Structures are given as structure tokens and as C-alpha cells.
Chains A and B, each alone.
Chain A
């Protein structure tokens, strides 16, 4: 039986930002 899964929302940035072309 799968454990209970609580979902926590993360509002912040999730991944790196690829730098804009210099």
C-alpha cells in the first residue's frame, strides 16, 4: 500500500536560468 503522499507547492524558481545570449 503506497504511503500517503502530501503535496507541498513550491512557488519559487525550479531550475537554473539559461543565460541570455551576451
Chain B
């Protein structure tokens, strides 16, 4: 006893896990929900959606979310605002342009992704400054 235990921390682990999850998404492996956004079907993992979005957390955390494997978002975000958010969830990179920022902001608000909402506001604010 008394041997000094120590921890090896693999600092890339979280980004490596996320990168593998994105590869699973792109190949349709273990994706368990189809999101109909603006009529466009997008496959994803509920676990990733619930981890990243307050809206999906409220939908999938309860028993009601168990059987749901197709989810349409009527009156919800348009695809051009939603798709960048789905990519963000799986890559940590949010692609914004002056043309898409308002749609991404609307989608992030709908999905209750407050930190992304703030980043969109900062981007839009900055793009108006001379």
C-alpha cells in the first residue's frame, strides 16, 4: 500500500470520441432518429441531440421520447439554419456567414442552444460594425 497511483489523461479523447460519433452519423451507424427539417430527412443519434440541445433534452429525456424514431419539427427551423447546428453538435465547429446567421440564430433559439444563440448575436453584431 501507499504506492502512488497516478492518472494518464488523454487530452484529445473528447474530440476523438466526437469525431468518431460524426463518422458513425455520416455512415448511419446506430443513428436512432430521423429529423424532418423543412421536409429534409436528417439522421442523428438521440444521445448527441439530447446532450447538445435543451429542446431535445426535454423531448427525449422522458419515456415519451423512447419510441420516437421520426421527428418532424412543424413550424420549426428551416434546413439551412438547422444543418449547421447538427454539424456543430458533432464537430464543435459552427459555420456562420452573414447570409446564414439569422437562420442559424432562429434554429438555435428553437433548439434552446443558448450558448450558440449568444455566439450568433456576437457574430451578427460584429458583421454590422464598420
Which residue numbers of A lie inside 8 Å of B, CB to CB? 3, 5, 7, 10, 12-16, 18
Contact = CB atoms under 8 A, between A and B. Distances in A.
Interface-centre pick from A3, A5, A14, A15 (highest chain B CB count, 10 A) = A15
Contact residues of A: prevailing secondary structure: loop
Contact of A18 (B51, B93, B114, B115): B51
27 contacts: A3-B97, A5-B95, A7-B93, A10-B119, A12-B115, A13-B115, A14-B92, A14-B115, A14-B116, A15-B51, A15-B52, A15-B53, A15-B89, A15-B113, A15-B115, A15-B116, A16-B52, A16-B53, A16-B54, A16-B57, A16-B112, A16-B113, A16-B114, A16-B115, A18-B50, A18-B51, A18-B57
B15 to A, nearest CB: 12
Q: 7 closest Cβ contacts across the A-B interface?
A: A15-B52, A16-B54, A14-B115, A13-B115, A10-B119, A15-B115, A15-B113
Contacts of A14: 92, 115-116
Given A13-B115, A14-B92, A16-B52, 17 more contacts: A3-B97, A5-B95, A10-B119, A12-B115, A14-B115, A14-B116, A15-B51, A15-B52, A15-B53, A15-B115, A15-B116, A16-B53, A16-B57, A16-B112, A16-B114, A16-B115, A18-B57
